[in-house]
Structure 1
Amino acid sequence: MIPVPSGVRVWLSMGRTDMRRGMTGLALQVQEALGRDPHAGDLYVFRGARGDLVKILWHDGLGMSLYAKRLEKGRFIWPSPTEGVVAISAAQLAYMLDGIDWRNPRHTWRPSSAG
């Protein structure tokens, strides 16, 4: 798991991203297409056309990191806008990376009484 500091902003890049891009190409996309600073310490999440692979770009103050995760089954839940960015919380990112619908997470079991 990515050691996400508290208070970090997470941005989902809308649309399809060419997953052949590395950290330099994705940083350039953040700067030019999204109009944001890729070195500001925010996390930028990109999804490919098939939806089973995400890449996360992060500059931690010392250097740029690129993380990738591919689901064995299913797809990552992604918002519907075709362009721009959508902000989510670090907790929602954790749900997403676990393959859970981060828009409406549900408890599988909740106790009905204490005793």
Structure 2
Amino acid sequence: MENFVLGELARQLTWARASVRLFHCRDRDQYEVDAVLEDNAGRVVGIEVKAAETVRSDDFRGLRLLQRRLGDRFRAGFVLYCGEEQLGFGDGLACLPISALWTSRLDGAVLS
């Protein structure tokens, strides 16, 4: 699932209005964010991919660390998952269905 989502993000970035670079992040303590999208102004959106129908607070572990480290540069963090609900998990953090890859919900945060 992760490879599929990363491939789709990379494809969509080729025609995005903004110049956005795609990275992966893992630190020495094994905190990980599957996709880190950064624009030319240094603004960052983090995306974690889960092949599950439910999301737990712990699924945001890497995104929360990225948010703390980047401060104001961190715009939003999303967990994309196999469920259907869009739910908030605190300031700037939310889970979205993987189908958000093809809707304006993710486009407004990442690709504009």
Class of the TM-score when normalised by the shorter of the 2 chains: 0.3 to 0.5
Larger radius of gyration: 1
Whichever structure has more helix as a proportion of its residues is 2
TM-score normalised by the chain length of structure 1? 0.33
| Bigger RCO (CA 8 Å, 6+ sep) | 1
Whichever structure has more strand as a proportion of its residues is 2
